[in-house]
Amino acid sequence: MVTLVTMAGLRIACHGALAETATLRIKKIREDRFSGPIHCLALAASRGLAAVALNNGRVHVWRLDSGETVHDFAFAEPDSELRNIGYTVEPIRLHFAPDSSALAISFLGRIHLYQTTNWTETANLGVPGEDVVRPRKPPVLGRRPDHEENRTAKQMAEDHVKRRAQGDGAARITDMAFTPDGSRILAAYCRGEYFDESYHSYHFYFFSSGNDPVRLWDVRGSRLLWERIYRPGGAVERVFPSPDGRRFAAAPQSGPPQVCDLSSGEPLYSLPGVAHLFGQPPSVLFVQDGAQFITLSAAPGDNILRASGRLAIHDSRDGAEVGGFSERAGGYEADISHDGRWLAAVTTNGITFKIYDMQTRKVAFVERRQFPWGWRGPLAETVRFDPGGSYLVVASRAEGRVAVYQIAP
């Protein structure tokens, strides 16, 4: 008898072989196209709502079943001096509260909370002054000073690095998430320079100031509970609270993610074997009881140009790997269904997403883009299960497309 790893509260035992892979009935019902690249996607646990943040400073809320628009927000781009450097569209992050009563939207260094019944702002979380930028200076024509003309290439590179670390005086929120009970918000910040990828316009690059914190906010009291800096050499780009409210994972742009105590922010251990693909840290997905999590582990010989990796299962107590999925198809973006039955993952080639049976860890559904001729399915860069259990939403962030799949009971 072989007893497999317990996933999402399901005890799986079989004699000599894996259990039979469940049949997944899923059908694409609609595809929506938005006015620009998508920076963030969020789904509500009830009311069938979804929201996207776009690269033009707009947030669009709509209904998953019909596509009907519910509400629109607009945030004005500040006249930052960073606009003279690279491509600088302000990052916007958003999340629905676990009970769907509020939508949290981050812009610059502040988190704005809106009621989903009447869309009035009920709270505003931030440190005074962190959303104030240094404006652009008017250009001045003239000869460069002698000391600038005589700089070596090395000196110019050093000056550029210093300039990136200085930023424009404001902090940007790289990621945020509600805790499972909805009473707190975990947020990661960067005070250095930032820009979006010019030819994709969906992924941001943040340059660490060396003083880039992760903070835990009390929502009801609008107060800061704790603040910690986990990686002086690089800002934390993604945060993942565990469903039991005990831990969270902090994934920096480079280097291993860390698992930390949520109540205090104290680091518990790091994950040196986790793969970063093309400068993006992968998802760290805790299962329902918080005892384990799934993330992308680097395969031997992988590098940034030839990376596939595999989805591995870890013990939350110490990060030890206890199992995994057999396919080396990657999965830097992934999500687990609310009932714990399915795992959806984006492959590293960016043209396929797959859904795995969590019991057998085998593929139950595949959607692949026919490239370059035609469009069979979305180019999968983000996958999200509807917390209500009815839908899977797949976003092509670069192309501003969202496909909605209905999951049959």
Cα 264 from Cα 121, distance rounded (Å): 28
Other beta carbons within 10 Å of 362: 16
**End-of-domain residue from the set 236, 270, 304:** 270
For residue 184, what is the enclosing H or E element? Answer: strand 184-190
Indicate the number of domains in the chain: 2
Position 316 in a domain: yes
For residue 157, what is the enclosing H or E element? Answer: helix 153-166
In this structure, of 67-81, 178-192, 202-216, 323-337, the range with the lowest mean pLDDT score is 323-337
Position 151 in a domain: no
pLDDT, one tens digit per residue, over 159-178 is 767 777 788 889 999 999 99
- The amino acid sitting at 36 is G
Cα 346 from Cα 335, distance rounded (Å): 9
In this structure, are 389 and 349 located in the same domain? yes
End-to-end CA, the chain: 31
Task: With beta carbons less than 8 A apart as the criterion, state whether 407 and 26 touch.
Answer: yes
In this structure, are 18 and 71 located in the same domain? no
Q: Which domain holds residue 18?
A: 1-33+274-409
Position 88 in a domain: yes
Q: Is the dihedral of CA 10, 11, 14, 16 positive or negative?
A: positive
Cα 87 from Cα 295, distance rounded (Å): 30
The CATH code of the domain that includes 203 is 2.130.10.10
Mapping DSSP to helix (H, G, I), strand (E, B) and coil, where does residue 192 land? coil
Beta-sheet strand order (sheet of 92-96): 92-96, 102-107, 110-115, 121-125
In this structure, are 234 and 278 located in the same domain? no
Residue 2 has pLDDT above 60, yes or no: no
Which residues in 299-347 belong to E strands, given as ranges? 310-315, 321-324, 334-336, 342-346
**End-of-domain residue from the set 232, 249, 270:** 270
In this structure, are 221 and 304 located in the same domain? no
**In the prediction, which pLDDT does 85 show?**
56
Phi-psi region of 317 (alpha: psi -120 to 50; beta: other; left: phi over 0): alpha
Residue 10 has pLDDT above 50, yes or no: no
Residue bearing the bigger pLDDT, 173 or 143: 173
In this structure, are 368 and 266 located in the same domain? no
Task: With beta carbons less than 8 A apart as the criterion, state whether 310 and 275 touch.
Answer: no
Position 261 in a domain: yes
Residue 12 is encoded by which pair of tokens? 């799986």
pLDDT, one tens digit per residue, over 286-337 is 998 889 999 877 655 555 444 456 788 999 999 999 988 866 656 668 899 9
Residue bearing the bigger pLDDT, 199 or 8: 199
Residue 373 is encoded by which pair of tokens? 């001729």
Position 148 in a domain: no
Cα 189 from Cα 252, distance rounded (Å): 11
In this structure, are 259 and 332 located in the same domain? no
**End-of-domain residue from the set 205, 235, 270:** 270
Mapping DSSP to helix (H, G, I), strand (E, B) and coil, where does residue 274 land? strand
In this structure, are 118 and 265 located in the same domain? yes
In this structure, are 399 and 316 located in the same domain? yes
In this structure, are 261 and 324 located in the same domain? no
In this structure, are 257 and 307 located in the same domain? no
Mapping DSSP to helix (H, G, I), strand (E, B) and coil, where does residue 101 land? coil
The arithmetic mean of pLDDT across residues 214-220, rounded, is 97
Position 278 in a domain: yes
Residue bearing the bigger pLDDT, 325 or 375: 325
Count Cβ atoms within 10 A of the Cβ of residue 256 and give its class: 0-12 exposed, 13-18 middle, 19 or more buried: middle
The arithmetic mean of pLDDT across residues 385-407, rounded, is 88
In this structure, are 169 and 182 located in the same domain? yes
In this structure, are 365 and 295 located in the same domain? yes
Query: Kindly report the CA angle at 334 between 402 and 234, in degrees rounded to 5?
Result: 105
Other beta carbons within 10 Å of 321: 13
Position 142 in a domain: no
**In the prediction, which pLDDT does 288 show?**
84
Position 141 in a domain: no
Contacts of 306 (CB under 8 A, 6+ apart): none
What pLDDT band is residue 13 in, cutting at 50, 70 and 90? very low
Hey, what's the torsion of the CAs at 230, 235, 238, 241, to 10 degrees?
Answer: 20
